[in-house]
């Protein structure tokens, strides 16, 4: 009797393992199919819309921002991304702002386009300009920097100050990307931390130019499009837009810069703790 019960238990256990394995394989297959669909859609949209965007950008930076604002909504809809926004949206742009956000996915710039409908520029690694097709499209709306070179960092800071004076908002990811700088391999990714420490550049820029900062928390983007696997999944992204933080309330010295850094870091970190689904 005990032997029969034991055999039945083993038999049931084997069936459970087989079921889990089949379910895993099916989910993986569906993920590959969905990713193929997403890349196909993105390619078609890029081929059609990139020339239009380049044409518009020669006439008006504001019009280009409006164009990418609505285009990002279409892209997110077609690749199955639902966006839930907490906070002030849409954002008023009477004056330029410095937007800072966490950065964990190639989806992040699209999400920023979803939030901003006035002229702005990104601070991004210089390698982006070398990407085929994409580089020439974004060149006019991007401030490139080689983070490892002091002269390049200085030039990018001067360029951002000049653009703020000309009415442009600036988008900065103060974590500095997800590449593991302690590794010699160019594609190694930072350890899977909730939020890496912020560099001081964005906060120094804010205080030096008396420009207010808007912290933006982007939760779950990594689960939609992973920089590890480059695969897509449908799902929901939560965007938390905080009220502008007045840079004039902080001392124009290293202590003031660090205080502003810590305040922004704390706001985004708390949102990620609350909303981020870590897998």
| Residue in this structure with the two tokens 């590794």, named with its chain if needed | 183
For the domain made up of 2-275, give the CATH fold: Glycerol-3-phosphate (1)-acyltransferase (3.40.1130)
Query: Could you identify the residue written with the tokens 């409006």?
Result: 66
- Of the candidates 125, 91, 80, 120, the one whose C-alpha atom is nearest the C-alpha of residue 239 is 91
pLDDT band (50, 70, 90) for residue 87: confident
Residue 100 has what pLDDT?
Answer: 96
The pLDDT value recorded for residue 149 is 81
Whole-number pLDDT of residue 147: 77
| pLDDT given at position 186 | 45
Answer for the pair 79, 232: CB distance below 8 angstroms, yes or no: yes
Around Cβ 193, how many Cβ atoms within 10 Å? 10
Does 187 score more than 50 pLDDT? Answer: no
Binning pLDDT at 50, 70 and 90, where does residue 182 land? low
Measured between alpha carbons, how far is 202 from 230 in angstroms, rounded to an integer?
28
Q: What's the pLDDT score for residue 190?
A: 57
Tokens at 60, concatenated = 């008006």
Residue 258: its pLDDT value, please?
95
Q: Of 219, 190, 201, which Cα lies nearest the Cα of 261?
A: 201
Distance CA 267, CA 115 (A): 18
Taking alpha carbons only, the member of 131, 195, 202, 146 closest to residue 171 is 202
More confident residue, 98 or 10: 98
Residue 86 forms beta bridges with which residues? 240
Please report how many Cα atoms fall inside a 13 Å half-sphere around the Cα of residue 69, on the Cβ side: 15
Question: How far apart are alpha carbons 175 and 146 in whole angstroms?
Answer: 15
DSSP-assigned letters across all residues of 244-270: PBPGGGS-SSHHHHHHHHHHHHHHHHH
Condensed to tens digits (0 to 9), the pLDDT of residues 147-160 reads 778 888 889 999 99
Alpha-carbon distance of 108 to 221, in angstroms, equals 7
Mean pLDDT of all residues in 160-164: 94
Question: Is the confidence at residue 223, as pLDDT, over 70?
Answer: yes
Among left, alpha and beta (phi > 0; psi -120 to 50; other), residue 261 is: alpha
The model's pTM is 0.84
Helix, strand or coil for residue 52?
A: helix
51: left (phi over 0), alpha (psi -120 to 50) or beta: alpha
Which SS3 state, helix, strand or coil, does residue 113 take? helix
pLDDT above 60 for 167: yes
Q: Left, alpha or beta for 87 (phi > 0: left; psi -120 to 50: alpha)?
A: left
The mean pLDDT value of the chain amounts to: 84
Over residues 25-68, the pLDDT tens digits come to: 788 899 999 999 999 999 999 999 988 988 888 888 889 888 99
* Pairwise CA distance, residues 141 & 191, whole Å: 30
Encode pLDDT of 256-265 as tens digits.
999 999 999 9
pLDDT value at 18 more than 80: no
Contacts of 25 (CB under 8 A, 6+ apart): none
């Amino acid at each position: 009797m005990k032997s029969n019960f034991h055999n039945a238990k083993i038999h049931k256990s084997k069936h459970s393992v087989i079921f889990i394995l089949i379910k895993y394989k099916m989910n993986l297959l569906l993920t590959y199919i969905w990713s193929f669909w997403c890349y196909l859609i993105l390619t078609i949209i890029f081929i059609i819309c990139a020339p239009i965007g380049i044409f518009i950008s020669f006439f008006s930076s504001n019009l280009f921002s409006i164009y990418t604002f609505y285009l990002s909504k279409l892209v997110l809809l077609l690749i199955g991304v639902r966006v839930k926004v907490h906070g002030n949206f849409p954002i008023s742009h009477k004056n330029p702002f410095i937007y800072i956000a966490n950065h964990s996915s190639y989806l992040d710039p699209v999400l920023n386009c979803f939030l901003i409908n006035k002229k702005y520029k990104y601070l991004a690694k210089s390698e982006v300009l070398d990407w085929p097709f994409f580089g020439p499209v974004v060149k006019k709306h991007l401030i490139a920097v080689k983070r490892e070179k002091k002269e390049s960092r200085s030039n990018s800071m001067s360029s951002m100050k000049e653009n703020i004076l000309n009415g442009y908002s600036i988008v900065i990811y103060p974590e500095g990307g997800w590449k593991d700088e302690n590794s010699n391999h160019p594609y190694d990714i930072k350890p899977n931390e909730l939020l890496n420490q912020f560099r001081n550049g964005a906060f120094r820029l804010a205080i030096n130019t008396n420009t207010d900062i808007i912290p933006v928390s982007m939760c779950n983007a990594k689960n939609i499009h992973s920089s590890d696997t480059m695969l897509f999944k449908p799902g929901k992204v939560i965007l938390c837009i905080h009220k502008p933080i007045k840079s004039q309330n902080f001392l124009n010295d290293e202590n003031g810069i660090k205080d502003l850094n810590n305040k922004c870091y704390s706001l985004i970190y708390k949102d990620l703790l609350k909303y981020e689904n870590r897998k």
